[in-house]
Structure 1
Amino acid sequence: MSSAMNADVSARLAWPDDAAAIVRVQLASWRRGFADVLPAAELDAIDSDELTQRWATTISAPQDARMRVLVALERADIRGFALVHPSYDPDADQVRDGEVGEFVVDTEHQRAGHGSRLLQAAMDTLAADRFTRAVWWIGSTDDVLRGFVTESGWEADGAHRELATADGATVKQVRLHTSLA
């Protein structure tokens, strides 16, 4: 067996001390995923210390008790993270509808089961918070993530949106949903 198959892997709620590693994974993902939308200088200008503090606050003092950050681990190393919370969409029922607001697995550690564990932990967390449906906005051109999500039982619900960046570019997204029952 390979060492990757024997690795100590898990998913758990994030701790405030995890914030710097979450930022490392997030910024690497943004550099890869938004390179065609955001100029490199804009990505390089992000204050990682400020972002780390924002994540630490989100973990330790979230805006809503049902907002949670989860991490995927290989031994003690963070390989990915997810943010789940009530859905804030205008057509959402904030009592019943939860959302996967962020979901990132380090590109160097994809296809090792971290995403599957993290997604299962996110779904379990949303269900434990008594949400009955989950939604997830995904980049319209992210075929890899969409394939992973739809293979896990999610379906597009026809909703779409465009998010504007600081320099006027847009990021197009489609919404997927699944039942948590």
Structure 2
Amino acid sequence: MVDAFVRPARPEDAEAVARIQLETWRTAYARVIPESVLAELGADEVAAQWRSAVVEPPTPRHHVLVATEGDATVGFAAAGPATVEDLVGPGYTSEDHGEGEWDATTLAVSTLLVEPRWGRRGHGSRLLAAVADVARENGFTRAVAWALDADQATRNFLESAGWAPDGVGRVLDMNGTEVPELRLATTFTDA
């Protein structure tokens, strides 16, 4: 049996996280994200951004987690307090308790990716469970995640884990191409 688990990211994971992001985006989102946007993403620059997110997160409640199988890093998730932009729409009011621009009770899952060749092996579920654990440990009672409208696989995955679309969408401008997203949400109960 191969060891598969999730752990907090370390600075030396930045290159693997960047590789997973770039390979996943170029494979899974090639028809959604404009080619010009994908072409602009350099591995070194993306790795430097992830290294910074691990070493100097915006708050102590921001986390990057990696999924591993054996010696391979196969996926990752990034999450932290939601911003006002994450909480647009009905049913959400920011509960800012002295953290500046960050919401005190809502976690935003900004990224959860498993490299396509490692899919269907439980890594996404382990990452999502670890994100929920981190959320509870940090006092979050609910979470939101934005999924590309065209990314039915991510939507199905989150919905199968108890997340649900909350009726709010937004449109990203990616080099002049409008890319719609849908917000999914969940609440955390004591486990």
2:32–2:150 Cα contact (<8 Å) kept: no
1:17 & 1:153 partners in 2: Cα distance? 33
How many matched pairs? 175
Change in 2 beyond 3 A, CA 1:143/1:42: closer
SS in 2 for 1:164: strand
1:43 & 1:175 partners in 2: Cα distance? 23
Partner of 2:181: 173
Amino acid at match of 1:50: E
SS in 1 for 2:41: coil
* Aligned-pair Cα RMSD in Å: 1.3
2:2 & 2:109 partners in 1: Cα distance? 26
Pairing 1:91-170 to 2, within 5 Å after superposition: 91=92, 92-93=94-95, 94-166=103-175, 168-170=176-178
Partner of 1:3: none
2:41 & 2:147 partners in 1: Cα distance? 22
Amino acid at match of 1:112: R
Normalising by structure 2, what TM-score? Answer: 0.87
Q: Unaligned stretches of 5+ in structure 2?
A: 96-102
Per the TM alignment, residue 143 of structure 1 is displaced from its structure 2 partner at its CA by 1.3
Change in 2 beyond 3 A, CA 1:176/1:42: closer
1:15 aligns with 2:10: yes
